[in-house]
């Protein structure tokens, strides 16, 4: 069984790609990489297209090594990875929708992001094709006595993002859930192609608003890898401070919202206060509640002014004072536990097969965190633990978040204590080409950024892969056998991104 490194040596190395290798391969080697995924010897990091080629990111978790494999498709097709490795199916349907490249052997012939409303097909292909009218979308069937369907969305009852859920239920029990996504498809790839780096960075920060820091960080790190530049130490530490504040805000919000979905409003109210305090500290320190556009390629756009760390220190005190009582409240409220324990169980095998990241993966035994497994500065200089559980239910996903809040509070303190002085950015070299990749741990999981810059220093090709790509399909599996009324609870405990997934 050849390891990833041996397989990489068989391809043609593309010199300009940093920090991990990128290789171009023939069809048989592409198939061999697909087999590695199917046999569980590597994890799929991403699968995306560009006009005339497909790229696949792979991770060897044992060796902490990653690579990108490129298959040129001059004939307009490539061997399907999804045929042997289901996590690739939606990614390949997307490649077909956007680029018109056919994944040969893909078991699902239906479109994914394309709902027939763009006025054209294959918008990112060299020659897009016209389209007449939307075609009906055949949902998968379930057969049996007494089954009924419940269609939900894309406009939901709560203040959430658009998506369609098709439930087939037997009485209260869900027999099958099928998701239909793509409603938030904004065509980000077409807007970044040919764009100046600054504009592409702003777009990256709007892939998924709740992860704006993580996306901006991933994109910036990919650009900096492509240009082979180092950024000042202070910028590195400021970025980590923003990333941990974002994680805190989202985890507080999620813990409260999950409890709210079982009608336990007290937790929601108190967690909402903590979330608001994080956002206010962020606004006081960095000038924007969500810290949008604060991280830019080359460093950070806004410095922590003299005394501006005080609101963050204050936040640490307040959160550390208030949070333990809330943990106790969660742990000791039987009516709450009655709903979260045993609900929406995701098996360890599926989490592993899908390379599922974030609190979903870690609640189902996949102990992966990009900050530790593929460490990037300053996390290699910080002390933190990565909590992991194996129950895989809603309760486990809550507990992972609770433990990560504690870790992030400690990280914020360490970062503030060790914050170096100095400049906060370096200018980007003009008219320099290169290729870079970065994997960054957002609150939801690992965000992958892959960027190629042309000789004019513009973005020739960019792809940002949301962790939700490998989480959404698992919600369908986790919900099976649960009651319809528990879907909002299970969905919130996953909290996948619609916008980040829909591109």
Partner 1 sequence: MRKILLESLLKGPLAEPSPGAEDPELLAFAAQVASAARAKLGRSLSIREIDAGSCNGCELEINALGNAFYDLERFGLRFVASPRHADILLVTGPVTKNMGEALLRTYQATPAPKWVVAAGACALDGGLFAGSYACLGGVAAAIPVDLYIPGCPPTPTALLEGLLALMG
Q: Which residues form the interface with partner 1 (CB under 8 A)?
A: 113, 115, 117-120, 123, 154-155, 157-162, 182-188, 190-191, 199, 202-203, 206-210, 212, 253, 266, 269-270, 272-273, 275-276, 279, 289-290, 292, 325-326, 329, 332-333, 497-499, 502
Judged by CB, which is closer to partner 1: 37, or 290? 290
Rounded distance between C-alpha atoms, residue 491 and residue 163, angstroms: 12
100 CB neighbour count, 10 Å cutoff: 21
Take residue 346 and report the two structure tokens written for it. Answer: 């995701």
Judged by CB, which is closer to partner 1: 231, or 281? 281
Judged by CB, which is closer to partner 1: 195, or 308? 195
Q: Strand, helix or coil at 81?
A: coil
CB of 460 to partner 1, least distance (A): 18
Residue 247: which of 43, 87, 467 has the closest Cα? Answer: 467
CB of 453 to partner 1, least distance (A): 20
Q: Are 252 and 274 in contact (CB under 8 A)?
A: yes
Q: Strand, helix or coil at 98?
A: helix
CB of 162 to partner 1, least distance (A): 5
The H or E element containing residue 328 is helix 310-332
Rounded distance between C-alpha atoms, residue 496 and residue 466, angstroms: 9
Judged by CB, which is closer to partner 1: 392, or 442? 442
CB of 210 to partner 1, least distance (A): 6
Rounded distance between C-alpha atoms, residue 499 and residue 503, angstroms: 6
CB of 206 to partner 1, least distance (A): 4
Judged by CB, which is closer to partner 1: 20, or 451? 451
The H or E element containing residue 448 is strand 446-453
Judged by CB, which is closer to partner 1: 274, or 382? 274
Take residue 106 and report the two structure tokens written for it. Answer: 């893909």
Percentages of the chain per state (helix, strand, coil), in multiples of 5: 45, 20, 40
CB of 166 to partner 1, least distance (A): 15
CB of 273 to partner 1, least distance (A): 5
Judged by CB, which is closer to partner 1: 210, or 435? 210
Strands 299-300 and 434-441: unpaired
Judged by CB, which is closer to partner 1: 118, or 384? 118
Judged by CB, which is closer to partner 1: 168, or 212? 212
Sequence-ordered strand ranges (E) for 294-342: 295-296, 299-300
CB of 333 to partner 1, least distance (A): 7
Length of the chain: 503
Take residue 193 and report the two structure tokens written for it. Answer: 């192609």
Rounded distance between C-alpha atoms, residue 496 and residue 244, angstroms: 19
CB of 266 to partner 1, least distance (A): 7
Rounded distance between C-alpha atoms, residue 90 and residue 109, angstroms: 11
């Amino acid at each position: 069984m050849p390891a990833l490194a041996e397989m990489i040596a068989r391809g043609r190395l593309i010199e300009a790609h940093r920090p991990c290798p990128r290789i171009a391969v023939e069809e048989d080697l592409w198939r061999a990489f697909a087999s590695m995924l199917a046999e569980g010897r590597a994890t799929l990091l991403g699968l995306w297209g560009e006009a005339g080629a497909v790229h696949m990111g792979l991770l060897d978790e044992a060796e902490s090594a990653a690579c990108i494999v490129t298959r040129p498709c001059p004939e307009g097709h490539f061997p399907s990875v999804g045929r042997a490795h289901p996590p690739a199916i939606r990614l390949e349907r997307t490649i077909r929708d956007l680029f018109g490249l056919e994944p040969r052997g893909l078991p699902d012939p239906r479109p994914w992001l394309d709902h027939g409303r763009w006025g054209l097909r294959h918008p990112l292909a060299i020659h897009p094709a016209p389209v007449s009218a939307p075609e009906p979308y055949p949902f998968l069937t379930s057969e049996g006595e007494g089954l009924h369907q419940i269609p939900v969305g894309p406009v939901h009852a709560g203040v959430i993002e658009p998506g369609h859920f098709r439930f087939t239920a037997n009485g209260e029990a869900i027999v099958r859930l099928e998701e239909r996504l793509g409603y938030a498809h904004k065509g980000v790839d077409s807007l970044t192609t040919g764009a100046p780096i600054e504009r592409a960075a702003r777009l990256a920060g709007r892939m998924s608003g709740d992860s704006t820091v993580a996306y901006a960080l991933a994109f910036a790190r990919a650009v900096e890898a492509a240009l082979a530049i180092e950024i000042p130490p202070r910028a590195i530490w400021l970025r980590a401070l923003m990333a941990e504040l974002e994680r805190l805000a989202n985890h507080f919000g999620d813990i409260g919202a999950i409890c709210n979905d079982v009608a336990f409003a007290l937790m929601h109210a108190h967690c909402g206060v903590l979330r608001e305090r994080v956002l206010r500290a962020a606004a006081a320190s960095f000038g924007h509640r969500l810290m949008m556009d604060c991280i830019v390629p080359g460093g950070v756009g806004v410095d922590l002014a003299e005394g501006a760390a005080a609101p963050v220190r204050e936040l640490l005190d307040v959160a550390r004072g208030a949070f333990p009582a809330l943990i106790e409240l969660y742990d000791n409220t039987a009516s709450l536990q009655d709903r979260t324990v045993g609900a929406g169980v995701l098996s360890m095998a599926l989490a592993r097969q899908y390379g599922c990241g974030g609190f979903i993966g870690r609640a189902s035994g996949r102990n992966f965190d990009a900050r530790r497994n593929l460490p990037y500065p300053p996390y290699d200089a910080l002390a933190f633990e990565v909590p992991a559980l194996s129950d895989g239910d809603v309760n486990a996903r809550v507990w992972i978040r609770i433990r990560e809040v504690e870790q992030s509070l400690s990280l914020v303190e360490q970062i503030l204590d060790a914050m170096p002085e100095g400049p906060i950015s370096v200018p980007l070299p003009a008219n320099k080409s290169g290729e870079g990749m970065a994997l960054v741990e957002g609150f939801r999981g690992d965000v992958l950024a892959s960027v190629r810059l042309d000789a004019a220093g513009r973005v020739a090709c960019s792809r940002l892969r949301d962790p939700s790509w490998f989480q959404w399909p698992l919600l369908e599996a986790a919900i099976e056998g649960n009651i319809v009324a528990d879907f909002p609870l299970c969905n919130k405990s996953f909290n996948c991104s619609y916008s980040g997934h829909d591109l």
